Structure formats: C-alpha cells, structure tokens
Amino acid sequence: MSLLMPSKEEMEVYVANIGIMPKHNYLIVYRKMKDSTKSFLKHFARSASVITRGNEKPYYLIVTKNELILQEMKKHSEMIKFLREDLKEFMVSDGEGETKVIEFNYSGETYSFIAHKDSIDRVRYVADNLQYLDQHHWLEEIEL
C-alpha cells in the first residue's frame, strides 16, 4: 500500500479492473476492532485515535447487486466475495464521530468496518459514495 489512499480515479480503475462498473459503489473502509479489545488497549495509550490508526487496517469495499467484495489494501491480499443472499444481519449505522459502521454476518463470522462520512480532498469520494449508498439502501436498490 502506498502512503496515499487511492484517488477517485485510481479507485475507479481498480474497480473496473476486477470487472465491475464503478458507479458510487466503492469505498475505503477500516476493519473495526472489537470494543473489548479497544478498551483493553486504551489502558496502554493516551489516545484512542492512535490505537485506531495503528490497528484498524484499510480495505477496498465494492458493493454490487449480488455481492460485497472486500480486499485488504496491501500487496497480494486475497479478494473475498460475499454473496448478498448469504449475508445475515447486514446493518449500517452511525458510529463514533463522523463515521458509519458497516456490519454483517457471513458463514457464522461477524465482520465490522468503519467508513468516514467526512472524508475530504483526495478521498472525498468515500463520503460521496457513502451518501449515495445510504440513499439507495445499500444492497437493496443498487442498479449497476
């Protein structure tokens, strides 16, 4: 992963290269630490934001009509495809500060991610795409 998060143009190339039409359906999200783990680590650091930045890894998240596609933003990471029909308890809610929490259960495992509603400049598309996905009820009304 480079030091910079991918620009909108770079994300659209990434999405297109995996065979998906980029249409406000891609985000950068961070794997959310369990609250119990975060509470434990807070005892060793002065700032929760230091803990978050160091331990919540960035992922590409692409939403399609039939699946969620997830890939950690590091070289040679595996792409995971979650079939929409197999997702359980899919929920998007407001998180701490200016974040959205995206959670779902797949094959008995719970996945939890955060996305920033206040993304600006190079990654402004994350905030724009979050708003678009919210307006279109995420998986239910996406027409690509």
Q: CATH no. for residue 30?
A: 2.30.29.30
Residue 88 falls inside a structural domain:
yes
Positive or negative, the CA dihedral 132, 91, 6, 38 is: positive
List, edge to edge, every strand of the sheet that includes 58-63. 79-83, 67-72, 58-63, 26-31, 109-116, 99-106, 88-94
Residue 87 falls inside a structural domain:
yes
Q: Which two tokens stand for residue 103?
A: 């959670």
Residue 141 falls inside a structural domain:
no
Residue 74 falls inside a structural domain:
yes
Residue 14 falls inside a structural domain:
yes
* Domain encompassing residue 118: 8-135
Residue pLDDT tens, the chain, 144 long: 445 889 999 999 999 999 999 999 999 999 986 554 444 445 555 555 544 455 678 999 999 989 999 999 988 899 999 998 999 999 999 998 899 999 999 999 999 999 999 888 889 999 999 999 999 888 675 555
- The interaxial angle of helices 48-55 and 35-42, nearest 10 deg, is 130
Give the separation between CA 23 and CA 77, rounded to whole angstroms. 24
Question: Residue 107's pLDDT is what?
Answer: 93
pTM: 0.81
Residue 115 falls inside a structural domain:
yes
- How many distinct structural domains can be found in the chain? 1
Question: Residue 141's pLDDT is what?
Answer: 59
Residue 3 falls inside a structural domain:
no
Question: Residue 45's pLDDT is what?
Answer: 55
Residue 40 falls inside a structural domain:
yes
Question: Residue 91's pLDDT is what?
Answer: 92
